Amino acid sequence: MTRLPERDRPWVMRTYAGHSSAAATNALFRRNLGKGQTGLSVAFDLPTQTGYDPDHELSRGEVGRVGVPIAHLGDARALFDGIPLASANTSMTINAPAMWLLALYAVVAAEQGAEVAALVGTTQNDIVKEYLSRGTHIFPPGPSLRLTTDTIAWTVAHAPRWNPVNICSYHLQEAGATPVQEVGFALATAVAVLDAVRDSGQVPPERMGDVVARISFFVNAGVRFVEEMAKMRAFTRLWDQITLQRYGVRDPRQRRFRYGVQVNSLGLTEAQPENNVQRIVLEMLGVTLSRDARARAVQLPAWNEALGLPRPWDQQWSLRLQQVLAYESDLLDYPDLFDGSHVVEALVDEIATGARAALDEVLEMGGVVAAVESGHLKAALVGSLAERRRRIESGADVVVGVNRFRETEPSPLTGADTIEQVDPAVEAAAVAAVRRWRASRDAAAVAAALALLRSGAAGGENLMPASLACARAGVTTGEWAAALREVFGEYRAPTGLTASGASSPDPALRAVRSRVLRTAAELGSGRLRMLVGKPGLDGHSNGAEQIAVRARDAGFEVVYQGIRLTAGEIVAAAVQEDVDLVGLSVLSGSHLAAVPAVLNGLRAAGSAVPVVVGGIIPSADAAALRAAGVARVFTPKDFALTGIIDELVSVVREAHGLGA
CA distances from 158 to 151, 165, 405, 459 (A): 10, 15, 56, 22
- When mean pLDDT is compared over 12-21, 343-352, 368-377, 411-420, the highest value belongs to 343-352
67: in domain: yes
Catalytic residue among 45, 538, 553, 621: 538
Task: For residues 328 and 443, state if they share a domain.
Answer: no
Cα torsion 339, 342, 343, 346: sign: positive
Tell me the CATH number at 73: 3.20.20.240
402: in domain: no
548: in domain: yes
Task: For residues 341 and 482, state if they share a domain.
Answer: no
Q: What one-letter code names the amino acid at 257? A: F
Task: For residues 595 and 650, state if they share a domain.
Answer: yes
Query: What is the 3-class SS of 466-530, one letter each residue?
Result: HHHHHHHHCCCHHHHHHHHHHHHCCCCCCCCCCCCCCCCCCHHHHHHHHHHHHHHHHHCCCCCEE
Catalytic residue among 52, 105, 131, 170: 170
pLDDT given for residue 497 in this prediction: 67
Place 501 in a pLDDT band, splitting at 50, 70 and 90.
very low
Task: For residues 386 and 439, state if they share a domain.
Answer: no
Task: For residues 429 and 361, state if they share a domain.
Answer: no
491 is catalytic: no
Task: For residues 454 and 582, state if they share a domain.
Answer: no
Catalytic residue among 126, 540, 560, 580: 540
Task: For residues 174 and 298, state if they share a domain.
Answer: yes
247 is catalytic: no
Q: Measured between alpha carbons, how far is 128 from 107 in angstroms, rounded to an integer?
A: 27
**Which residue, of 346, 376, 394, is where some domain finishes?**
394
Task: For residues 126 and 248, state if they share a domain.
Answer: yes
Place 423 in a pLDDT band, splitting at 50, 70 and 90.
confident
Task: For residues 335 and 197, state if they share a domain.
Answer: yes
Place 637 in a pLDDT band, splitting at 50, 70 and 90.
confident
418: in domain: no
pLDDT given for residue 505 in this prediction: 65
Place 502 in a pLDDT band, splitting at 50, 70 and 90.
very low
Question: Has residue 500 got a pLDDT over 60?
Answer: no
259: in domain: yes
Percent of the chain with pLDDT over 90: 81
Residue pLDDT, tens place only, 209-241: 999 999 999 999 999 999 999 999 999 999 999
501: in domain: no
Task: For residues 208 and 356, state if they share a domain.
Answer: yes
Closest alpha carbon to 421 in 65, 111, 143: 65
Catalytic residue among 534, 560, 591, 621: 534
Average of per-residue pLDDT across 428-440: 97
Give me the domain span that covers residue 294: 12-394
Place 1 in a pLDDT band, splitting at 50, 70 and 90.
low
171 is catalytic: yes
461: in domain: yes
Q: Measured between alpha carbons, how far is 413 from 416 in angstroms, rounded to an integer?
A: 10
Calculate ∠ Cα 277-121-228, nearest 5°.
40
Q: Measured between alpha carbons, how far is 93 from 87 in angstroms, rounded to an integer?
A: 19
Give the 3-state secondary structure of residue 123. Answer: strand
Rounded to 10°, the helix 225-245/342-364 angle is: 50
Q: Measured between alpha carbons, how far is 64 from 60 in angstroms, rounded to an integer?
A: 11
Residue pLDDT, tens place only, 466-478: 999 999 999 999 9
Task: For residues 477 and 516, state if they share a domain.
Answer: no
Average of per-residue pLDDT across 141-150: 95
Task: For residues 623 and 543, state if they share a domain.
Answer: yes
251 is catalytic: no
Cα torsion 515, 498, 189, 470: sign: negative
Q: Where are the beta strands (DSSP E) in 203-335?
A: 215-219, 259-262, 297-299
Assess contact for 522 and 591: CB atoms under 8 A.
Answer: no
What is the overall mean pLDDT for the chain? 93
Give the 3-state secondary structure of residue 545. Answer: helix
Number of structural domains in the chain: 3
CA distances from 15 to 327, 373, 515, 625, 631 (A): 18, 34, 47, 32, 37
pTM for this model (two decimals):
0.91
pLDDT given for residue 219 in this prediction: 95
Give the 3-state secondary structure of residue 612. Answer: strand
For the CA atoms of 81, 86, 92, 96, the dihedral, rounded to the nearest 10 degrees, stands at 100
Residue pLDDT, tens place only, 86-98: 999 999 999 999 9
Tell me the CATH number at 525: 3.40.50.280
390: in domain: yes
Residue pLDDT, tens place only, 527-585: 999 999 999 898 888 888 889 989 999 999 999 988 888 999 999 999 999 999 999 99
Assess contact for 367 and 191: CB atoms under 8 A.
Answer: yes
